[in-house]
Amino acid sequence: MSDKLTSQYEKCDFCNKAKNDVKKLIVGDNVAICNECVDLCGELLSELANATINVKEINDIDPVELKEFLDKYVIGQENAKITLSVAVANHYKRINNKNSDIELEKANVLLLGPTGCGKTLLAKTVARFLDVPFTIADATSITEAGYVGDDVETLINKLLSAANGDVEKAQRGIIFLDEVDKIARKGESTSITRDVSGEGVQQALLKIVEGTVCRVPAAGANRKNPQAEMIEVDTSNILFIAGGAFVGIDAVIKRRAEGSGIGFGVDVKTNKDADLKDLEPDDLVKYGMIPEFVGRFPTWVSLTELTEEQLVYVLTEVKNSLIKQYQFLFNQDNVDLEFDKDALQYIASRAKTRKTGARSLHAELEKTLLPHMYSLKEYKNNKLDKVKITKDLVENPQKIAI
Ligand SMILES: Nc1ncnc2c1ncn2[C@@H]1O[C@H](COP(=O)(O)OP(=O)(O)OP(=O)(O)O)[C@@H](O)[C@H]1O
Ligand SMILES: [Mg+2]
């Protein structure tokens, strides 16, 4: 063996560690591997074997059962719950389809609706029902590859982390793309300058939404390290649920409805608000979504602003509701917490005026309950074992005088 060839075997070809720095260097035909890399490969292979065994088959989802599960966590939004349940059931039918003659097309879901009406909550709850990895990605934080910010592969990487590195599991997970309306192209004309935040991002998302094989660094690996092990993740069975408020889209719908009315003798009531239920794909394109993006979300459904009555239910009825959470906190000091009906109604009506849906309930409750939480120890020492929140205590938050 020539000197040159011998020196080639002085280091591991996988991690570059010198022969003297490892216990054993195994030399093969033109390649060398150290004992540490052999161990690592062993671990990776056993993880892969376990992963295949652990993946739960999601067969035969009954949309009715899923809808009933959603009912426990999400108030109202009947239409969205039914549409989403059917879409999810069909998605898993498609994944499990063994019939090669009929290939079912992928149908990602788009949820439209004002802020705080339950879009993210719906997607999260579906993932909880299915027990699949779930990740939320803010579309506004994504940039085209090459720009500063997350690129689309980061989404897959996040999902892989949510699946604890289990590729098989990640490949059946759900990615919630939040705020997709914010990556709408600005204006209808195509801009000459490159649109980093809008159209470019939509373009970048097309491939992974439709289904492609992404190469991402293994979970936990440093992205910057060129030696990091890369893993292939197929996105074709990942369900994408997109959400967006699409502020102003009602005007687009209205304009189209009015436009099509001209000359056809159709009576369009111009002073009536456009209904999101009448949304057509073209409206989304007019809004600034590129047609290819819209085409990949064939199922869409609109959510409605919550009514005052529904906001009261959000406070009291859902599993893990805010009030149940505060009651738990009070109970830690042996104090019970109760609310008058009037008080709940008043909190809901105040929250409603803020126009941020159920999101403002938390702030309203916090403001009302702060003086009491501050005084819980005092209440306890004075044997006050119940706090009843009246409408007056919501209007003028103050501790109970002892
Ligand atoms: N329909 C609902 N039923 C029960 N809770 C709700 C509902 N809508 C919203 N909430 C509660 O309000 C909070 C915000 O909801 P969520 O994150 O789903 O809003 P969103 O529609 O995604 O809003 P955004 O457009 O701002 O992201 C959550 O804590 C959620 O629990
Ligand atoms: Mg959201």
Tens-digit pLDDT profile for residues 18-40: 888 989 888 887 888 989 989 88
Instruction: Give the residues surrounding ligand 1 with Cβ less than 6 Å away.
Output: 74-77, 113, 115-121, 178, 243, 245, 306, 314, 318, 357-359
CA atoms of 153 and 217, how far apart (whole Å):
9
Output the residue whose Cα is nearest ligand 1's atom 26: 115
Pairing of strands 213-217, 230-234: antiparallel
Cα 52 to middle of ligand 2, angstroms: 33
Q: Which atom of ligand 1 is nearest to the CA of 306?
A: 1
Mean residue pLDDT across the chain: 84
Q: Which residue has the higher pLDDT, 4 or 283?
A: 283
CA distances from 127 to 69, 193, 209 (A): 11, 39, 17
Mean pLDDT of 393-398: 94
- Is residue 61 within 8 Å of 89, Cβ to Cβ? yes
Amino acid at 41: C
**Residue 80: predicted pLDDT:** 95
Q: Which atom of ligand 1 is nearest to the CA of 111?
A: 21
User: At residue 392, does pLDDT exceed 70?
Assistant: yes
Percent of the chain with pLDDT over 90: 51
CA atoms of 259 and 32, how far apart (whole Å):
72
Beta strands across the sheet bearing 134-138: 134-138, 174-178, 239-244, 109-112, 299-302
Amino acid at 129: F
Mean pLDDT of 331-338: 94
Q: Which atom of ligand 1 is nearest to the CA of 178?
A: 27
CA atoms of 29 and 246, how far apart (whole Å):
61
Percent of the chain with pLDDT over 70: 84
CA neighbours closer than 13 Å in the CB half-sphere of residue 231? 26
Helix H or strand E encompassing 21: none
**Residue 398: predicted pLDDT:** 92
Q: Residue 241 — very low, low, confident or very high, per pLDDT cuts 50/70/90?
A: very high
Q: The whole model's pTM is what?
A: 0.77
Q: Residue 148 — very low, low, confident or very high, per pLDDT cuts 50/70/90?
A: low
Is the alpha carbon torsion for 384, 386, 390, 396 positive or negative? Answer: positive
| Lowest pLDDT segment from 54-68, 102-116, 128-142, 284-298 | 54-68
**Mutate-to-test residue for ligand 1 from 77, 111, 119, 121, highest number of ligand atoms within 8 A of CB:** 121
Cα 76 to middle of ligand 1, angstroms: 11
- Is residue 305 within 8 Å of 360, Cβ to Cβ? no
**Residue 4: predicted pLDDT:** 41
Each residue's pLDDT tens digit, 173-221: 999 999 999 999 875 444 444 454 578 889 889 988 988 898 888 755 5
Q: Which atom of ligand 1 is nearest to the CA of 303?
A: 21
Cα 288 to middle of ligand 1, angstroms: 25
Q: Which atom of ligand 1 is nearest to the CA of 244?
A: 25
User: At residue 386, does pLDDT exceed 70?
Assistant: yes
- Is residue 323 within 8 Å of 339, Cβ to Cβ? yes
- Is residue 391 within 8 Å of 343, Cβ to Cβ? yes
| Lowest pLDDT segment from 114-128, 219-233, 349-363 | 219-233
**Residue 5: predicted pLDDT:** 46
Output the residue whose Cα is nearest ligand 1's atom 6: 118
Cα 239 to middle of ligand 1, angstroms: 20
Output the residue whose Cα is nearest ligand 1's atom 31: 121
Output the residue whose Cα is nearest ligand 1's atom 1: 75
User: At residue 362, does pLDDT exceed 90?
Assistant: yes
**Residue 385: predicted pLDDT:** 92
- Is residue 367 within 8 Å of 389, Cβ to Cβ? no
Instruction: Please give the structure tokens belonging to residue 392.
Output: 């007056």
